[in-house]
Amino acid sequence: MRAGVWIAVVLAIGGCGYRLVDERAVFGPEVASIEIRAFENRSAEPGYEQMLADSLEEEFSRRGALRPLLGPGGADLVLSGSIREVRVRSAVFSSVEFSVEDEVRVSLRVSVGHPAEGRSLWEQPDLRVSEKFRSSPDPQVYESNKQQALRRLSARIAERIHDGLFQRF
């Protein structure tokens, strides 16, 4: 009985045109690596470009479809962009108007292209993400909470870039 149900499910999925996508085949067998260039940081948040580069390298390494390279040259694709803005604002207030939660918003431009051909394969001209974090009157606690929020944002941005690149095709 169970075998019959599984066979029916497999036939139904195959019959409707649904197929699992092999990420390694999206760009063709000759494309195996991606160079992650340092993003231009136009924001007032020093060092955020390195945090984002680390998250992108980790995401592409974890997923395994494209081998990430941080140095120039030799990659089949190039990922580049600019961090336009990193803005922190108060998001939630207490009854006496103290900030309880703040929100950090990041706005960036991203593109992926072939280095030899000079053409863009995928672009996100205005990618925006935000994350809330606990505010604190203690400057060290506040900065620590903000940095943790920025790390979470970087991981989410890296995931969205990876998924967007492979969902494009």
Give per-residue pLDDT as tens, 2-20: 666 667 666 666 655 555 5
Pairing mode, strands 40-41 and 67-69: unpaired
CB 111 within 8 A of CB 122: yes
Q: What is the DSSP letter of 38?
A: P
- Between 97 and 39, residue with greater pLDDT: 39
Percentage of residues of the chain with pLDDT beyond 70: 78
**Predicted TM-score (pTM) of this structure:** 0.79
Residues for the chain: how many in total?
169
Domain ranges (residues) in the chain: 31-167
CATH top-level class for 31-167? Answer: alpha beta
CA separation for the pair 98, 161 (Å, rounded):
36
